[in-house]
Amino acid sequence: MVVDKLYNLRMRAAQGGSHEQGGTHISGGERITRFSNIQQVAMYLLEKGLTHCKGRPDFMQIQLESIPESVTYVQPLERWANVERFVKEGDTFLKEGKTVAFQLLEIIGIPKKVIDRAVEIVSQYSSMRGAVLIDAHSGKRLDDRGEKGVRVSRLDWLGNDFEKWARYYHVSANSRIREALALAAKVNNHPATIAELCWSDDPDYTTGYVASRKMGYQRIENIKTYGDERGCRIFFVDGQKDIRSYINYLENQPVLITWEG
């Protein structure tokens, strides 16, 4: 009997050489699949990287690896809100998205000076493909990955649970939301994560989010200027926890997001 294993597929694409050679990060993606679906998922990732709004890559790597069956099943973050509703009057934004994001982080309990320091740290890098880990108390960076950051991998939605979720919440079932929700669920499932702040590096996508176990997933429009190619993913972390095992969870623990409805 051939056991139908699970496979992780990850893609990264860059322009001006590979990431290692100092190329600009264009696109990344990670999916989990059974053997029978590898081709389809690989095609999705290939197309994602080749047709990205950040530009045409001249380097791409797609890696397949079988992964252990010891999967952690995680629910999407419980609350889902489109903060837009609270900050927009008609077509006018009453507050800038970043201001809203920072306020939400403060409500979660991240000191203002830690938020400022974190944003200062990520703004050093013109192009990152991973996240920066920040001590939620001291504002110090906890990983030593420099411009690379820590890329969360081995995560996906189970079956068509995302489509069911999206139908239930009347959210368009697009891959951006699919991927962001899965990432936020995996990251915030770990007790060391206190909160996550994200905005895309895609110049044409100006929506970001703040996520935490307490507050759920708070989608924030207008978080950056249209055309800006700098993105960010900051994980505010409890520095008391074992950081090596935390990074190992982020990179290696297979996580499938399930939603029953």
Ligand X SMILES: Nc1ncnc2c1ncn2[C@@H]1O[C@H](COP(=O)(O)OP(=O)(O)OP(=O)(O)O)[C@@H](O)[C@H]1O
Residues in contact with a second copy by the rule CB under 8 A: 2, 5, 7, 18, 35, 38-39, 42-43, 46-47, 50, 56-66
Select from ligand X, a second copy, Mg ion, none the partner in contact with residue 60, using the beta carbon and a kind-dependent cut-off of 5 to 8 Å. Answer: a second copy
Please tell me the distance from the alpha carbon of residue 244 to that of residue 115, in angstroms, as a whole number.
23
From the list 85-93, 125-133, 139-147, 209-217, the region that binds ligand X by CB under 6 A is 125-133
47 binds, among Mg ion, a second copy, ligand X, none (CB under 5 to 8 A by kind): a second copy
Distance from the Cα of residue 94 to its chain's centroid: 27
Between residues 156 and 201, which has the closer beta carbon with respect to ligand X? 201
- Name the segment binding Mg ion (CB under 5 A); options: 68-76, 118-126, 201-209, 247-255: 201-209
x/- letters, 71..90, toward Mg ion (CB under 5 A): --------------------
Q: Smallest distance from the beta carbon of 46 to a second copy, in angstroms?
A: 6
The residue with its CB nearest to ligand X is: 27
Picked from ligand X, a second copy, Mg ion, none, the partner binding residue 65 (CB below 5 to 8 A depending on kind) is a second copy
Q: Which is nearer to a second copy, 65 or 163 (CB)?
A: 65
Shortest approach of Mg ion to residue 54 CB, angstroms? 6
DSSP of 29-46, one letter per residue?
A: EEEEEEGGGHHHHHHHHH
Residues 232-261: x/- map of binding to ligand X (CB under 6 A)?
A: -x----------------------------
Q: What tokens appear for 190 in the block?
A: 């770990």
Which of 35, 261, 89 has its CA nearest to residue 163?
A: 261
User: Three-state DSSP class for 249?
Assistant: helix
**166, containing H or E segment:** helix 161-168
- Residues 104 and 102: their CA atoms lie apart, in Å, by 5
Q: Does 156 bind ligand X (CB under 6 A)?
A: no
Element (H, E) at 105: helix 97-108
How far is it, in rounded angstroms, from Cα 104 to Cα 86?
A: 12
Question: Residue 231, interface with ligand X (CB under 6 A)?
Answer: yes
CB 219 within 8 A of CB 180: no
Q: Where are the beta strands (DSSP E) in the chain?
A: 6-15, 24-34, 59-67, 72-74, 80-82, 88-89, 92-93, 132-135, 155-157, 193-199, 208-212, 216-220, 232-237, 255-257
User: Binding residue for ligand X (CB under 6 A) from 41, 118, 131, 210?
Assistant: 131
Q: Which does 97 bind (CB under 5 to 8 A by kind): ligand X, Mg ion, a second copy, none?
A: none
Q: Angle between the 97-108 and 112-123 helix axes, to the nearest 10 degrees? A: 130
* Parallel, antiparallel or unpaired: strands 255-257 and 155-157: parallel
- The residue among 108 and 198 lying less far from ligand X, judged by its C-beta, is 198
Q: Should residue 141 be labelled a site residue for ligand X when binding is judged by CB under 6 A? A: no
The contact set with ligand X (CB under 6 A) reads 25, 27-30, 48, 52, 128-131, 149, 151-152, 183, 198, 200-202, 231, 233
The contact set with Mg ion (CB under 5 A) reads 201-202
